[in-house]
Amino acid sequence: MAEKNKARLTKVLDYLKYDDPFSKGVSFCPGCGLELLLRFIPRVLGNDIIITGTPSCSAPVLLGQNKQSWHTLSYFGTLMTGAAANATGLVRYYKKAGIDNTVVCFNGDGTANDIGFGNLSGAAERNEPFIYICYDNEGYMNTGIQKSGTTPYGATTTTTPYGTVHKGKNLRRMNLGVKMAMNKIPYTATATLSDLEDLAKKLLKAKKAKERGFCFLHVFAPCPTGWGANPADTIEICRQAVKTNYFPLWEAENGKIRMTKTVKKPKPVSNYTKLMKKFNHMTEADLEILQEDVEYETCLLGGLSVLEAECQLPVSAQD
Amino acid sequence: MNTTAISSNIQVITGNAAAAIAAKLARPDVVAAYPITPQTEVIEQISSFHASGDMDCELITVEGENSAMNAVMAASLAGGRVFTASSSWGLVFMYDAVLATAGARAPVVMVNVNRETPGIIAVSSGQQDMISTRDAGWIFLIAENCQEIMDLVLQSYRLAEDYDIQLPVMVHYDGFFLSYLSEGVEIPAQETVDQFLSVLESQPKRTMLRPGEKLGVGTHGILGGYMELRHKHVTAMERSKAKFDAIDQEFADIFSRSYGGQLEEYLTEDADMVLVGSGSMCGTIKSVIDEQREKGIRIGLVKIRMYRPFPHQALVKALKGKKAIGVVDRSLAFGFDGGPIYTELKAFETKLGGAKLVSFIDGIANTDITKTNVKQMIQMTADLADGKDVPEVTWVSYPKANKDKGEK
């Protein structure tokens, strides 16, 4: 058993071909999912990527405070409203000038799903050749835990607090990954931090696929501070999100959805929700609504993958 | 050296076409734009040049103006020459990126076709869009006619990308009055424009964001470091005044057309009275001045070509010692008795040697600044010079405003 685990671990490390360009100590909260993801990307893709970032949790480290960023990557810090358009401007100029590049447009769910969705959608339509990565911590964490479009049903945030009349978010979360896959871009995938080998493979696939155009990675990245979770549980939260189908792992080439991890016997969503305080107030009836929503999304994903296999996208539209 | 005589050609084209052709002649690497009345023709023409292979640029047909500005800002900071065009609401929709572009000192060149902003369907000319964005940190230039649109766009690249300046430049021209006006424009030969812009290649290279280089754009700034950046921005803006004058001189040597740099002065030297204006109204004002001069009235015009940075030194020099000055604004400044340019000039009143100032609001929401209107302005300025009682501000085409101050 020990031998088997060791072999698997080595396989993950095999993907880490490059140095960690980040400072050893940075100003992220303990257990921050974003930090692990941010360090992981250049170790897999290389240190010659250009990373773009916006005001967000990533900003202090990625863009620096006052004088210096906390890493040695080339970076482009900008506004939440136009992140994908900035990345577009970079790759179009590099294309014109004949400069090889891997531009990673790195944003939270606030930028990707909400305030910057228009230009994300535009970049997908124009099939711009860069990798857009959304680290989804289900809210506006840097401004102090407010609701976003990906905040799940029931969750409390500072703008969806628990009160006598309203009890947490009374709306379902949007499925950003599926929204993007439906644009038939060369590559879309979901990933999370409990399945790093899967994440590494998807990063490398995206790097290859961006030669054909736009790539989108939706990465589930827990926020222990904002969710009321034990910082030591970050990876366990990711693991349970996958095992309960709360955050299924799949990929889509030209919109053709394929599960990269099939959960044969999904666990109840309460296995996931019990790991944090933001769902604490939910009754069994409330949790049932969340459970049904998870099952609906999983069912839809299965249906889409079947339908996509039956319907053929014209070859000319794929490249 | 005059190389244009043999190779340029004169065509009857619109102001929008002049902007598009000028952009083509500047050979930008990246163009990103979104259509809006009255600018649309600019990007239609550029798309047509691009489709036919006459323009070798990356053309980004974005999903909104905000993305247009963000895309050209990034392309510019990566090292490219860029162009975009917008108007009114489009300028407002890209405003956060307009500010960021200036803060990053990205040498973006764009045209803004002036249109009113306050009403959603105010599809009409006015300079309120320019006024509302005046302190974004961009250099603002204003064209009077289609030829000047062409020439200012070309000059803008020299100004924006100059190593000593590195600031974005916006060329403003009046929507409707110039965007759709067709008139004869001398289109310079490509080689002549290449020659004019080649000076930039001999300068040190500006910092460019390239893969693998340990460089960053957009660091968070507070306190001292940020103040240093802001102060450098202010001084670069101040340097751009003399630089613009020098570029105009050099432009004259190559293209045989000169405008005077920051200001164009029309019969001001012996004038007792001067009107201060900008944009397309200046053509009408000049023709009225010609008529008035025949009657012996010593009136001149100062045309503001560079609006940001505010050319106060040049204005004081041109206006000092005049008896009376009438400032024509096509926009509003709330809480002030007078238009925005009038209000700004008023700050230098003590340096004008006793010249009296009066404000005229006209030409907003597409109202024509007619010759009759200009005559009225000149008459009122003359009355002021004669010591008569003249109201500080007059809405020339809206007499009701001058009578009923308390209307609701």
Domains of chain B with bracketed CATH: 4-255 (3.40.50.970), 263-403 (3.40.50.920)
Mutation site for A-interface testing, chosen from B70, B93, B98, B215 by largest number of A Cβ within 10 Å: B70
Q: Is residue A104 part of a domain?
A: yes
User: Which DSSP string corresponds to B321-347?
Assistant: T-SEEEEEESS--TTSSS-HHHHHHHT
Q: Is residue A229 part of a domain?
A: yes
Task: Return mean pLDDT, chain A.
Answer: 93
Pairing of strands B139-142, B306-308: antiparallel
Q: Is residue A122 part of a domain?
A: yes
Residue A231, pLDDT above cutoff 50:
yes
Q: Is A114 helix (H, G, I), strand (E, B) or coil?
A: helix
Residue A315, pLDDT above cutoff 80:
no
The per-residue pLDDT for range A37-73, each reduced to its tens digit, is: 999 999 999 999 999 999 898 888 888 766 678 899 9
Nearest residue to B268 via CA among B329, B316, B313, B308: B316
Q: Tokens for A54, please give them.
A: 């916006």
Q: How far is the alpha carbon of A238 from chain B, nearest alpha carbon, in Å?
A: 31
Q: Is residue A77 part of a domain?
A: yes
What's the whole-number mean pLDDT along residues B64-83?
98
**Band (B4; pLDDT cuts 50, 70, 90):** very low
Nearest residue to B263 via CA among B301, B210, B207, B225: B301
Q: CB-based contact (8 Å) between B32 and chain A?
A: yes
**Strand ranges of the sheet holding B263-266, from the earlier edge strand across to the other edge:** B263-266, B299-304, B273-277, B324-329, B356-361, B393-395
The per-residue pLDDT for range B335-371, each reduced to its tens digit, is: 998 999 999 999 999 999 999 999 999 999 989 999 9
Residue B2, pLDDT above cutoff 50:
no
Residue ranges of B 171-230 with Cβ closer than 8 A to chain A: 209-223, 225-226
Q: How far is the alpha carbon of A271 from chain B, nearest alpha carbon, in Å?
A: 40
Of A71-75, A222-226, B26-30, B241-245, the range with the lowest mean pLDDT is: A71-75
User: Which DSSP string corresponds to B226-283?
Assistant: HHHHHHHHHHHHHHHHHHHHHHHHHHHHHHS----TTEEEES-TT-SEEEEE-TTHHH
The answer to whether the Cβ–Cβ distance between B75 and A76 falls below 8 Å is: no
Q: How far is the alpha carbon of A281 from chain B, nearest alpha carbon, in Å?
A: 38
Q: Tokens for B31, please give them.
A: 């163009």
d(CA B160, CA B318): 26
DSSP E strand boundaries for B169-210: 169-174, 182-187
Nearest CA in chain A to B59: A92
Q: CB-based contact (8 Å) between B33 and chain A?
A: no
CA dist B283 → B109, B160, B264, B274, B369 (Å): 25, 27, 12, 15, 10
Share of chain B above pLDDT 70, in %: 96
The per-residue pLDDT for range A114-148, each reduced to its tens digit, is: 999 999 999 999 999 999 999 999 999 999 999 99
Share of chain B above pLDDT 90, in %: 89
**Band (A309; pLDDT cuts 50, 70, 90):** confident
- Can you give the pLDDT at residue B106? 97
d(CA A148, CA A278): 14
- Can you give the pLDDT at residue B3? 45
d(CA A293, CA A290): 5
For A101, the domain range is 17-318
Q: What is the CATH number of the domain that holds A55?
A: 3.40.50.970
CA dist B261 → A35, B258, B315, B379 (Å): 53, 8, 12, 29
List phi, psi (to 5°) of B172. Answer: -100, 140
- Specify the higher pLDDT residue, B220 or B356: B356
Of A58-67, B2-11, B161-170, the range with the lowest mean pLDDT is: B2-11
Residue A9, pLDDT above cutoff 60:
no
Q: Is residue A6 part of a domain?
A: no
Q: Which of B80, B82, B217 sits opposite A76 (nearest CB)?
A: B217
d(CA B333, CA B61): 35
The total number of structural domains in chain A stands at 1
The answer to whether the Cβ–Cβ distance between B63 and A72 falls below 8 Å is: no
Nearest CA in chain A to B34: A122
- Can you give the pLDDT at residue A78? 87
List phi, psi (to 5°) of A253. Answer: -100, 125
Q: CB-based contact (8 Å) between B55 and chain A?
A: no
Task: Return mean pLDDT, chain B.
Answer: 95
What's the whole-number mean pLDDT along residues B24-40?
98
Contacts within 8 Å (CB) and 24+ apart, B288-291: B288/B371, B288/B374, B288/B375, B288/B378, B289/B378
Q: Is residue A292 part of a domain?
A: yes
Q: Is residue A3 part of a domain?
A: no
- Can you give the pLDDT at residue B219? 65
**With contact defined as beta carbons under 8 Å apart, do A12 and A197 qualify?**
yes
**Band (B226; pLDDT cuts 50, 70, 90):** confident
Q: Is residue A250 part of a domain?
A: yes
**Band (A5; pLDDT cuts 50, 70, 90):** low
